[in-house]
Structure 1
């Protein structure tokens, strides 16, 4: 019975396997001097590319669609909230708030992504509904 951690029999003789002999060039061989002399020098493309990048003037990054929709949506929802508060306080006929809402709805961003387009459309619809309601209330008074 062996103890845990005990080392079994180890041979002290020479290994019986033969070492591999290299036959010709392998994938990792060093090229001969003649092969090195025959090759053309490699020119670096990185330096001219880096210089051309440094020479160009920095471009102003356009705002992303996400930023435009977020800013516009926040502004529209804030104006709707102001209108809601004015309505609850009894000042529903504030023409300045209605004009602000209509102006915000007119300058909605043009976006390409369907999710953002749906979001801006739903906000525009809500703004249109609320302004129509307020205009109707103002006419009744």
Structure 2
């Protein structure tokens, strides 16, 4: 689906909690390399330090990420664009290449209740279990949650 079609009906609300998912172009497994996964984790932290987001949970899978955050910036599209651009530049620098890292667009889901918040946080950090990469929440190095689950 085109990036423009993904934006139809999308509204950003500062203070709203979102889960954002984005995939690597061609399902490339960028994040099997620990140094590449660390770049993405560092970008989550930079977005928080710049006060665009308040990160609540994340997971870096081999070919995609899930990121739960409270939007502090006026625009979800701005956060996605800045995150993807900054991480792509750093990943390309690491790999001494040029080219696309992320697929166009992203998927987001706005959370509306506290119950949904914990359910989605479990989903995010439980991704490696469902993928057969680990047996327990907390064992996978590239997953983090603000709350004990």
TM-score by length of 1: 0.27
Q: Answer with 1 or 2: which has the greater Rg.
A: 1
Q: Which has the higher contact order (CA 8 A, sep 6+)?
A: 2
TM-score by length of 2: 0.26
More helix by share: 1
More strand by share: 2
